[in-house]
Amino acid sequence: MPEGDTVYRAARAMQKAIGGKVVTGFETGLAKLARVNDDAPLVGRMVEKVESRGKWCLIFFSGDLILVTHMLMSGSWHLYRTGERWQMGRAQMRVVIRTADWEAVGFNIPVAEFYTARSLERSSQVPKLGPDILSESFTVEDGIARMAAYGRENPDAEIAVVLLNQRVLAGLGNVYKSEVLFAAGVNPFRAMRTITPREMELMMDLAQRYMKANVVEGKGDGIVTYSGNRRTTHAMDREERLWVYGRQGQECRRCGATVMMRKQGVQARSTYWCPACQPWVGDGEAPIGRAGIVRRGQIGR
């Protein structure tokens, strides 16, 4: 499930492979991109840089052209040496950017559009992102300030929904949302008016540490990509790498209580939590979720 860390690693790998290189070939299965390429061909342009902004990937080409993509739930960028066999079928290909040595292939990418610098500034989404948790300039204080400001204007907003709001903070997705809240001991359904400054500080520190730990590069000068599961615990076993996400009906790793799951927000995203480790604070009764064990293929988005 692509989140900010996935996009960050993809952009970093593409920057190393095709950054500073001249485009020798371009293909796309998306009509909007094809029309732009027909009018202003990419072949011959240089890939000036590739960067991530939250869950968005931006590829800058010479001549003031920017390819902006969002993976949503199932998109992915792959890198292949020239002539190397793709791991996914051509029917799933949406974009191919070729240089002399590499091919960057976007599979199943649902959102892809060309911009100029000026039109990107007028975009309704990318320029309005909150601070990117994985950016070098991000600080815990930045995150606290954004959350506190949003909380003052939206005191009834549920904290888990706020963490997913990319205009408040850019990069966090459904996995990190549940994991950060568990580690901070914060019930995901609490209203912003109940969240203390200390809890905000703890959540921002955990969010930054967890995400940075999952984008650490290996040693050497080669291009490093990442294919393992995300890890928020200290366990190396792939079945024990997360605290609560995807563990509905199983025992909490800390206290032994049953992990619950409940759909949350207008997008009905799955939220996982431990009712004992994340006590309810607020008016009324504590929200209750489903506790039945589900098969891995049924884990909610």
Task: With beta carbons less than 8 A apart as the criterion, state whether 60 and 50 touch.
Answer: yes
Sign, Cα dihedral of 297, 298, 300, 301 = positive
> Is residue 128 annotated as a catalytic residue, yes or no?
no
Structure tokens at 233: 């615990």
Query: Is there a catalytic annotation at residue 3?
Result: yes
Q: Which of 9, 16, 45, 55 is catalytic?
A: 55
The closest alpha carbon to 36, from 80, 71, 67, belongs to 67
Count how many Cα atoms sit within 13 Å of the Cα of residue 71 in the half-sphere of its side chain: 26
**CA nearest neighbour of 174 among 244, 233, 222, 126:** 244
> How far is 292 from 289, CA to CA, in rounded Å?
9
Nearest C-alpha neighbor of 44 from the set 64, 65, 68, 25 = 25
Question: What gap in Å lies between CA 74 and CA 109, rounded to an integer?
Answer: 7
One-letter identity of residue 279: P
Active-site pick, 2, 188, 275, 287: 2
286 torsion bin: left (phi>0), alpha (psi -120 to 50), beta (else)? beta
- Distance in angstroms (rounded) separating the CA atoms of residues 263 and 261: 7
Phi, psi dihedral angles at 133 (to 5 degrees): -60, -30
Q: Is 2 a catalytic residue?
A: yes
Let me know if 269 is a catalytic residue: yes
Say which of 158, 188, 269, 287 is annotated catalytic.
269
The first and second tokens of residue 249, run together, are: 């009906």
Residues designated as active site: 2-3, 55, 269
